[in-house]
Structure 1
């Protein structure tokens, strides 16, 4: 079964919790087992590399070096990365490696 991790948080003006709920529903309709977390600590989980997909819904926040390293390694290893607008592209402004991974 395909598994997806949605991690939400940051600036409340983008309504990350509500958006995470919408995206979770969409993924479940497509047959994904969905996990939803509201802390960047989820990116440091060694099991991240076992996910099929990671969806960050985080705006204007910070990500720790270990979290970023594990996330980028998982994506380099084949884990899918999806997101939209500020929820992904404006997630971690100080993390250049994250921006390059997203294509920004």
Structure 2
């Protein structure tokens, strides 16, 4: 699973458009969050994600912290998949860059 920075920005922007008082957005790898996270939103400004891009076992999450001290977590990842199919005519390969988060 890979960190989806674009999705994290979309989530924060959607929350802000709903009038939610977002204080901070922190993106990182759940299970290793203390060492692998970046504050990507604070004081109305977005910053680039600057930690591990992916993991085999740790799910990338966005932790949204509101001005009233409450928080919410969102799954924020994509997976690169190479699909190979052999047909009678040729070998076909496709790289699917983003798949829905099926749980």
Bin the TM-score by the shorter chain: 0.3 to 0.5
Higher strand proportion (structure 1 or 2):
2
> Highest Rg: 1 or 2?
2
Q: TM-score, normalised by structure 1?
A: 0.33
Higher helix proportion (structure 1 or 2):
1
Q: TM-score, normalised by structure 2?
A: 0.33
